Amino acid sequence: MQKQKEKKNLGILAGVFVFVYGLYLFLDWLAHGSFTTLFAELGTPLFAVHQLFNVIIAAIAALMISLSQIKLRLTSVEPKGSTSIPFLSFIFGLLTFGCAPCVVAFLGAVGITFTPIVLPFGNLPWKIILLVLMIAGFFFILRSIDKSTCTPKALKNQ
């Protein structure tokens, strides 16, 4: 039974990691139009740095969601922000280093003026800001898990 739970938790972790990494890879593709253009504009070393950031951000998001799911199963209480922080990080990425023309056109259609700032190195500073936000969110969730209390099932039934 314990091995089955461990496999399920590892499956959730791997699935979320692949999904979130795919989202950030998609944002890179949207920002440059194609991977050929991405390589031509950034070069191999800078592309590798971008992918390293994508992997780290995806790993943090996967850990946050997995930890929240484990805590939810154990205590029936989900840590605050555990699933919203990874979602907000994707929205942040979409608005900053993702598909800027798509966002400008969409927001313009509903009457919102929006101009993203294009930063050097293929918008790498936006990813650094995002990584800092994700790390802060991860420590917030770890603290919320650490400070939570658990009521044993025997006491709940009395």
In the 3-class helix/strand/coil scheme, how is 140-152 assigned residue by residue? HHHHHHHHCCCCC
For the record, the structure tokens of 136 come out as 């802060």
Give pLDDT tens digits for 3-20. Answer: 777 787 788 889 889 988
DSSP H helices, 33-119, are 35-75, 84-96, 100-109
Indicate the pTM of the whole model.
0.74
**Phi, psi (5° rounding) for residue 87?**
-65, -45
Task: Give the other-Cβ count within 10 Å of 127's Cβ.
Answer: 25
Tens digit of pLDDT for each residue in 37-79? 888 888 889 989 989 998 998 898 888 888 777 777 777 766 6
Number of residues that make up the chain: 158
Binning the chain into helix, strand and coil, the percentages to the nearest 5 are 80, 0, 20
Q: Where are the alpha helices (DSSP H) in 97-119?
A: 100-109
DSSP state at residue 37:
H
Task: Name the least confident of 35-39, 62-66, 102-106, 152-156.
Answer: 152-156
- Residues 36, 103: contact at Cβ < 8 Å? no
